[in-house]
């Protein structure tokens, strides 16, 4: 299962910059719509494009490993 750590990255950026960031701030900087950011954050295994991963990594100054976590499926 793929899980995106978007909420954690927003919280980390807020703590570092001492400013409250929201999906609207991320949308303004990356062009990725708020509705899509919410889906990415709340839907396991959500399929996003490589360009969105790149934009998010650039915005949060992180690597894809910081953005994406992979856990074994429990369906077996």
Mind listing the domains of the chain with CATH numbers?
2-62 (1.10.260)
Q: Which is it for the CA torsion 17, 23, 24, 29, positive or negative? A: positive
Q: What tokens does 2 get?
A: 């793929």
Q: What tokens does 30 get?
A: 């990356």
Helix 34-42 to helix 23-30 angle (10° resolution) is: 120
Q: 67 near 56, Cβ under 8 Å?
A: yes
Q: What pLDDT score does 9 carry?
A: 96
Q: 54 near 7, Cβ under 8 Å?
A: no
Query: The pTM is what?
Result: 0.88
Task: Show pLDDT as tens, one digit a residue, over the chain (76 residues).
Answer: 899 999 999 999 999 999 999 999 999 999 999 999 999 999 988 999 999 999 999 999 999 999 999 988 776 5
């Amino acid at each position: 299962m793929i899980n995106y750590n978007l909420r954690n990255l927003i919280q980390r950026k807020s703590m570092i910059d001492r400013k409250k960031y929201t999906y609207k701030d991320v949308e303004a900087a990356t062009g990725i719509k708020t509705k899509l950011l919410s889906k990415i954050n709340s839907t396991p295994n959500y399929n996003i494009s490589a360009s969105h991963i790149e934009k998010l990594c650039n915005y949060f100054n992180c690597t894809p490993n910081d953005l994406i976590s992979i856990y074994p499926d429990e369906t077996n």
